[in-house]
Amino acid sequence: MAAVKTIATTPFSGQKPGTSGLRKKVKVFAQPNYLENFVQAVFDSIGGESGGQIAGKTLVLGGDGRYHNRTAIQTILKMAAANGFARVMVGRGGILSTPAASCVIRKYKTFGGIILSASHNPGGPDEDFGIKYNIPAGGPAPEAITEAIYARSLVIDSYKTLEAADVDLDTLGTRALGGMEVQVFDPVADYAELMESLFDFSAIRAAFAGGLRMKFDAMHAVTGPYATEILERRLGAAAGTVMNGTPLEDFGHGHPDPNLVHAHDLVEALTGKDAPDFGAASDGDGDRNMILGRDFYVTPSDSLAVLAANATLCPGYAKGLKGIARSMPTSAAPDRVAAKLGIPAWETPTGWKFFGTLLDAGKATFCGEESFGTGSDHVREKDGLWAVLAWLNVLAARRQSVADIVTAHWTEYGRNVYSRHDYEGIDSAAAEGLMEHLRGLSLKGRKLGAYTVAFNDDFAYTDPVDGSVSKKQGIRVVFEDGSRVVFRLSGTGTEGATLRVYIERYEPDASKHHLDPQVALADLIKIARDLAEIKARTGRTEPTVIT
Please give the Cα distance from 226 to 100 (Å, whole number): 9
Q: Of 35, 172, 190, 192, give the one whose Cα is nearest residue 90.
A: 172
Please give the Cα distance from 185 to 165 (Å, whole number): 20
Judged by CB under 6 A, does residue 68 bind ligand VG1? no
Q: Of 418, 406, 421, 417, give the one whose Cα is nearest residue 296.
A: 406
Q: What is the largest CA-CA distance in the chain?
A: 75
The one among 288, 326, 484, 537 contacting ligand VG1 by CB under 6 A: 288
Task: Check if 483 is active-site.
Answer: no
For residue 346, give every residue at least 6 positions away whose Cβ sits within 8 Å of its Cβ, in sequence order, or none: 323, 324, 325, 326, 358, 363, 364, 464
- Near Co ion by CB under 5 A, which window of 133-141, 210-218, 260-268, 287-295? 287-295
The helix/strand/coil state of 500 is: strand
Provide the minimum distance between the beta carbon of 61 and Co ion in the complex, in angstroms, as a whole number: 17
- Near ligand VG1 by CB under 6 A, which window of 168-176, 199-207, 280-288, 524-532? 280-288
- Near ligand VG1 by CB under 6 A, which window of 60-68, 359-367, 458-466, 485-493? 485-493
The one among 287, 302, 383, 507 contacting Co ion by CB under 5 A: 287
Between 199 and 352, name the residue whose CB sits nearer to ligand VG1: 352
Provide the minimum distance between the beta carbon of 150 and ligand VG1 in the complex, in angstroms, as a whole number: 16
Provide the minimum distance between the beta carbon of 283 and Co ion in the complex, in angstroms, as a whole number: 4
| Residues in contact with Co ion, shown as a per-residue x/- string from 103 to 142 under the rule CB under 5 A | ----------------x-----------------------
* Residue 20, contacted partner among ligand VG1, Co ion, none, CB below 5-8 A by kind: ligand VG1
Q: Which amino acid is at 416?
A: N
Q: Outline where DSSP puts E strands in 234-284.
A: 242-243, 278-282
Judged by CB under 6 A, does residue 287 bind ligand VG1? yes
The one among 110, 119, 161, 223 contacting ligand VG1 by CB under 6 A: 119
Q: Which amino acid is at 532?
A: A
Please give the Cα distance from 423 to 203 (Å, whole number): 43
Between 184 and 281, name the residue whose CB sits nearer to ligand VG1: 281
* Residue 335, contacted partner among ligand VG1, Co ion, none, CB below 5-8 A by kind: none
Paired residues of 243 in beta bridges? 217
Judged by CB under 6 A, does residue 111 bind ligand VG1? no
Contact between 129 and 25 under an 8 Å Cβ cutoff? The reply is: yes
* Residue 357, contacted partner among ligand VG1, Co ion, none, CB below 5-8 A by kind: none
Query: Could you give the count of Cα atoms lying within 13 Å of 532 in the half-sphere of its Cβ?
Result: 32
Q: Which residue is nearest to ligand VG1 (CB)?
A: 119
Crossing angle for the helix pair 34-47 and 69-82, nearest 10 degrees? 40
Q: Which amino acid is at 379?
A: V
Q: Which of 20, 45, 117, 119 is catalytic?
A: 119
Q: In what order do the strands lie in the sheet with 366-369?
A: 345-348, 324-327, 366-369, 373-376
Provide the minimum distance between the beta carbon of 203 and ligand VG1 in the complex, in angstroms, as a whole number: 29
Judged by CB under 6 A, does residue 490 bind ligand VG1? yes
Please give the Cα distance from 224 to 288 (Å, whole number): 14
Please give the Cα distance from 442 to 295 (Å, whole number): 42
The distance of Cα 459 from the centroid of its chain, to the nearest Å, equals 21
Between 287 and 422, name the residue whose CB sits nearer to Co ion: 287
Judged by CB under 6 A, does residue 128 bind ligand VG1? no
Judged by CB under 5 A, does residue 383 bind Co ion? no
Q: Of 516, 296, 210, give the one whose Cα is nearest residue 306.
A: 296
Contact between 540 and 431 under an 8 Å Cβ cutoff? The reply is: no
Provide the minimum distance between the beta carbon of 356 and Co ion in the complex, in angstroms, as a whole number: 16
The distance of Cα 19 from the centroid of its chain, to the nearest Å, equals 10
Judged by CB under 5 A, does residue 259 bind Co ion? no
Judged by CB under 6 A, does residue 19 bind ligand VG1? yes
The one among 229, 283, 463, 504 contacting ligand VG1 by CB under 6 A: 283
* Residue 65, contacted partner among Co ion, ligand VG1, none, CB below 5-8 A by kind: none
Region at 178 (left for phi over 0; alpha for psi -120 to 50; beta for the rest): left
Between 308 and 405, name the residue whose CB sits nearer to ligand VG1: 308
- Near ligand VG1 by CB under 6 A, which window of 43-51, 221-229, 349-357, 473-481? 349-357
Q: Of 288, 343, 290, 335, give the one whose Cα is nearest residue 312.
A: 343
Between 284 and 293, name the residue whose CB sits nearer to ligand VG1: 284
Phi, psi dihedral angles at 418 (to 5 degrees): -145, 145
Judged by CB under 6 A, does residue 159 bind ligand VG1? no
Judged by CB under 5 A, does residue 97 bind Co ion? no
Provide the minimum distance between the beta carbon of 172 and ligand VG1 in the complex, in angstroms, as a whole number: 28
* Residue 365, contacted partner among Co ion, ligand VG1, none, CB below 5-8 A by kind: none
The helix/strand/coil state of 288 is: strand
Please give the residue ranges that form the binding site for Co ion (CB under 5 A).
Answer: 119, 283, 285, 287-288
Q: Which positions are catalytic?
A: 119
Please give the residue ranges that form the binding site for ligand VG1 (CB under 6 A).
Answer: 19-20, 119-120, 283, 287-288, 327, 350-352, 369, 371, 373, 490-492, 500
